[in-house]
Copies of this chain bind each other. A is one copy, B any other.
C-alpha cells in the first residue's frame, strides 16, 4: 500500500520560490526512494500577487488550501518599505491568517549545531533544542488599535490575549516532546512584569507538570533566556513560550546555531483539524532573490518536519541525515540548486563515497 498525500505549495516572494523548488526536488526523490506519493497544488500568493491583483488571501483560496493534507510555504514579503504595501498587510492577512485559521497552535522550531558549521559563538557546545512557540494567541491576535491616529494625542494599544485553553494545549504538547527527548522543559516568559499572562502560563505549567513526572521543568525570563542562548545554548532541550517571545528567541537561536539559512519550522495543528504548514524561518530576502544564492537547507529541513508530521519518520530521518552530511562536508559556496541536488542525491544514496 503506497501512502499518498496532497500538498498545497505556496512559494511566495523573493527567494521563496527558489528554495521551495529545491525542497520539492528533495521531496520527489524521497518519495521515490521511500515509497510514498503526493499530489501538489501551487498557490501564487504574496507581495507580487497583491501588487498585481490587490488580493491577499480570499476565503475561496483559503477553503481550497484547507482541503489539502499539508502545506509547504517559502517566504512572504515584498521589498522592505515598499510604499505600495501597508506595513503588516501580508503578514497579518496571509501568513498569520493561515496560522490562525488553520489553528497552528504549535509553532515548532528546532535548533541544532552542525559539526564544521561556523557559528558566531566562540564555543556553542553541542546544541540541540526545540522551541515550541505558541502560534495562535498572545500579542499576535491583532487586538488593539489607534485613537487619534496621526495626531500628537495618539494612543496606540496592543492587546496580548492568552487563554487557559490555548496555553494548556501547547504546554501539554511541549511536555510530550520533552518526554521523548532529554526530558527537560524550560518555560520562557516575563512573569515579573507581565503578571497576568505570566501568571496564567506559570499556573498551567505547574498544573500539567505532574502528568509528566520524568520531565524536569525550569523557568527563565525572556531577557535572561537571550543571555543563556549566547553563553550556554546547550543547556536547552525543549523551550515552551508565547508567540512573541518565541518569534524573538527562535531568530536568535537560528543565528547562534549557524545561520537562519538552516532553520526549519512547522506550524502544526496537532489535532489534525486542518492542514499543518511547514516553512523556513527565514524571510523572502528580496535583496538576494533570483540570484541562486539562497540556501535551501531550511526549506528542505521543513520538508523533513512535514514528513515526520505525516507519519513518515523514516523518510524524514533520511532527509535529516542527508542535510547533516551535506552541511558537514560543505566547502565552497554553491548555488541554491547545487545544494538541493546534493541533498537529493544523498537521500537517493547516490553520492560518491556514500
A residues adjacent to B (C-beta < 8 A): 80-81, 87-88, 91-92, 96, 118-123, 139-140, 142, 144-146, 148-165, 168, 190-200, 202-203, 219, 222-224, 226-227, 229-231, 244, 247-252, 254-256, 260
Contact = CB atoms under 8 A, between A and B. Distances in A.
B152 A162 contact: no
A116 B198 CA distance: 39
B248 A191 contact: no
B154 A227 contact: no
B255 A154 contact: no
B121 A194 contact: no
User: What 3 A-B pairs have minimum CB-CB distances, sorted nearest first?
Assistant: A223-B251, A156-B200, A154-B164
B227 A260 contact: yes
Contacts of A96: 193
26 contacts: A87-B192, A87-B198, A87-B202, A88-B193, A88-B195, A91-B193, A96-B193, A121-B122, A121-B230, A139-B160, A144-B159, A145-B196, A149-B199, A151-B164, A152-B164, A152-B168, A153-B165, A155-B162, A155-B164, A156-B197, A157-B159, A159-B160, A227-B251, A227-B252, A227-B255, A227-B260
A251 B222 CA distance: 9
A230 B192 contact: no
Contact of A195 (B87, B121, B192, B249): B87
Contacts of A80: 219
A197 B140 CA distance: 12
Contacts of A153: 163-165
A226 B194 CA distance: 21
A242 to B, nearest CB: 10
Contacts of A160: 139, 144, 157-160
A192 B87 CA distance: 6
Contacts of A199: 87, 146, 149, 156
Contacts of A250: 223
B251 A92 contact: no
Contacts of A226: 226, 248-249, 251-252, 255
A222 B248 contact: yes
Given A158-B194, A227-B251, 19 more contacts: A87-B195, A88-B195, A88-B198, A91-B192, A91-B193, A119-B122, A120-B121, A120-B231, A139-B194, A146-B196, A156-B162, A157-B159, A157-B196, A159-B159, A190-B247, A222-B247, A223-B252, A226-B226, A231-B255
B161 A244 contact: no
Contacts of A92: 192-193, 195
Contacts of A139: 139, 158, 160, 193-194
Contact of A197 (B81, B144, B194): B144
Nearest to A253: B226
